[in-house]
Homo-oligomer: A and B are copies of this chain.
Amino acid sequence: MMNLTRRALIGGVAASSLAPLLRPLPAGAAAPVTGKQAPGFYRYKVGSFECTSLNDGALTYPISADYVTNVSKDQVIAAAAAAYFPKDMVVCPYNPQVINTGSKLVLIDTGWGPGVDPAVGHVLHNMAAAGLEPGAVDTVIISHFHRDHINGLRKADGALAFPNAEIKVPSPEWAFWMSDDNMSKASGDMMQGNFANARKIFAGLADRVTKYEWGQEVVPGITAVETSGHTPGHTSFAVQSGPARVLIQSDVTNIPALFVRHPDWHVMYDVEPDLAARTRYRFFDMASAERAQVVGFHFPFPCLGQIEKDGAGYRLVPAAWSPVL
């Protein structure tokens, strides 16, 4: 491409300055490989708010027969292949968000925390790369109580990862997971494990946790949006500063290549799968109608994009990476 300005068309370095400073050609030893990826953070503005997408890592795992409960494994494998995933595998990224409203430094969801897998648990590392201090976080807002969203509240020794933060949780999510009656009725390792995990993570935090309601401004500029189904209290967020608005969808959908394209597919993690599917259609209809920028916890980093209708489903159009804020 060529710039369109006359300055660029006609300009260029002055001929007189072009005497080359020749030095000996290299001796032949190439630079050693670094073996390191770039840090996993990305900045974007919402009005006057400075937001930072933080990558917690990604897990790659084989597609099991029960990964999507209402279609065949072959259909899922075909959709994964169409999305250029490794053969018979899915890759699931995890992306908490930081919103600096100017008066509050807010973290939405926390990532896996330590000890699960070397491929995840990188939020604190990427926060440091982004110049953000965990101790400066005023508020942690939790979308729902699955462990990739809450376990990063704790460090390996159990201490609070964000020691000065108030923790705000969806009122119906707290009610669901803290109900002994619900726990006693939970069937299967996954659900039983999730009840136990939520109670462990929130143990002793009663004076640090506050509950918010759907429709409420959790922090000025960040409104809780009801998107239940994935879990009974699953919550998305509308971030608004002046006329600018971004929708943080949390887990309305898991991996977009599968579940934005096929919103009626039931990923095994959806606690109320029929409701979750209805919520996907409702949320994506809203997002596509207003051409909203949408942030997805499981979208490929930096996890911003637009949702469009595409046949019977939708598609994610990833936002172009911007070199400037």
Decide if B20 touches A205 in the complex (CB within 8 Å).
Answer: yes
Q: How far is the CA of A102 from the CA of B31 in the complex (A)?
A: 8
In the complex, A103→B31 CA distance in Å?
8
Could you say which residues of chain B place their CB within 8 Å of the CB of A204? 18-20
Contacts of A151 in B (CB 8 A): 12-13
Interface residue from B57, B166, B203, B300 paired with A18 (Cβ < 8 Å): B203
> Is the C-beta of A47 less than 8 angstroms from some C-beta in chain B?
no
Picked from B37, B100, B103, B205, the residue with its CB within 8 Å of the CB of A43 is B37
Q: On chain A, which size bracket covers the interface?
A: 35 or more
Q: Is A242 an interface residue (CB 8 A)?
A: no
Residue A71, interface by CB 8 Å:
no
B119 touches A197 (CB 8 A): no
Which stretch of A171-179, A188-196, A232-240, A272-280 is in the interface?
A188-196
Contact check, A1 vs B94: say whether CB atoms are below 8 A apart. yes
In the bound assembly, the distance between CA atoms of A148 and B2 in angstroms comes to 6
A30 touches B104 (CB 8 A): yes
In chain A, positions 1-28 with a C-beta closer than 8 Å to chain B are 1-15, 17-26, 28
Q: A23-B163, A25-B164 are in contact. Are A1 and B31 (CB under 8 A)?
A: no
A266 at the interface (CB under 8 A from B): no
A70 to chain B, nearest CB (A): 18
In the assembled complex, A200 has its CB within 8 A of some CB on chain B: yes
Copies of the chain in the assembly: 2
Chain B residues positioned under 8 Å from A79 (CB to CB) = none
Evaluate contact between A164 and B23: CB separation under 8 angstroms: yes
Please give, as numbers and ranges, the residues of chain B lying within 8 Å of A8 by CB-CB distance. Answer: 116-117, 147
B200 pairs with A15, CB closer than 8 A: yes
Any chain B CB within 8 A of the CB of A311?
no
Is A91 part of the binding interface, using a Cβ–Cβ cutoff of 8 Å?
yes
Q: Which residues of B contact A159 (CB under 8 A)?
A: 20-21
A59 touches B (CB below 8 Å): yes
In the complex, the answer to whether A11 meets B115 with C-beta atoms within 8 Å is: yes
In contact, B318 and A318 (Cβ under 8 angstroms): yes
A-B contact pairs, 15 of them (CB 8 A): A1-B59, A3-B117, A5-B117, A13-B156, A15-B203, A17-B157, A18-B154, A35-B50, A36-B43, A38-B130, A40-B323, A57-B324, A84-B317, A119-B324, A301-B323
> Residues of A at under 8 Å CB distance from B?
1-15, 17-26, 28, 30-31, 33-43, 50, 55, 57-59, 61, 64, 83-84, 91-94, 100-105, 112-113, 115-117, 119, 122, 129-133, 136, 138, 146-148, 151, 154, 156-160, 163-166, 189-190, 193-194, 196-197, 200-201, 203-205, 207-208, 251, 254, 269, 291, 297-298, 300-302, 306, 317-325
Which 9 A-B residue pairings sit nearest by Cβ, starting from the closest? A17-B158, A300-B320, A33-B50, A9-B193, A301-B321, A31-B136, A26-B164, A18-B158, A12-B197
